[in-house]
Amino acid sequence: MDYTGKHKENFMSKLYIPVLAGTNREQRKSIYAARLVAEVGATFDDVETELIDPKDYYFPGDGNDPEGKDPRYTAVTERAEGFFVVFPEYNHSFPATLKRMLDSELQNYVHKPVAFGGVSKSQWGGVRGIESLVSSVREMGLVATFTDMQFPKVQELFDDEGKLLNEDYREYVKGAWIELIWMTKVMKYGRENVESKHHAAK
């Protein structure tokens, strides 16, 4: 494939991939993992990222009706080329806060990739929460990567100030980013160059 002209620009330009924190709970430890994911993402030259904290947004009501949206989050999802969602497992599932935030949009997710970071106090690192979320994001039009990130026993991975206690996890997170970046580039090319009933090629 010839990556010259517009094609080369599509593959070489910076990708905006925000990290979505999955809960607004006051005692949340998962925010430490989300900050780490954003920090590692910022080390990639071809990525622009930021942490999206649901505490900073307001979603009245349910669904994606205009009155239930936060225009600031709409702008984030419209601009984003992909997403990295970091959330704690609650009762074998994911937090209602995350579901409400995701549900507020739909069209802006279609044919964009999403990676997951599961967090738990147990040894499994939120894998059941990730499994639960996959079916929801699929219905929204997002495409899940297969390289998940788990943060088991989060209380032992970070101190009370959020400092990482096991530096190996930076490399683990990096691996998840590498897969997400690859999918983001490929799917951006597809959205911009291959016709779909969901979007027109540019």
Q: Per this entry, what is the length of the chain? A: 202
- The CA distance from 190 to 201, in Å, is 8
Which residues, in sequence order, are CB contacts of 101 under 8 Å at separation 6+?
Answer: 20, 54, 57, 59, 73
Residue pLDDT, tens place only, 50-84 = 999 999 999 988 888 988 899 999 999 999 999 99
> Does domain 6-193 match CATH 3.40.1360.10?
no
- Alpha-carbon distances, residue 151 vs 29, 36, 89, 121, 188 (angstroms): 10, 11, 10, 8, 29
Please state the domain extents for the chain: 6-193
To the nearest whole percent, how much of the chain has pLDDT over 90? Answer: 83
- The CA distance from 99 to 62, in Å, is 10
Q: What is the pLDDT of residue 174?
A: 98
- The CA distance from 78 to 136, in Å, is 19
Residue pLDDT, tens place only, 78-125 = 999 999 999 999 888 999 999 999 999 999 999 999 999 999 999 988
Q: For residues 68 and 61, is the Cβ–Cβ distance under 8 A?
A: yes
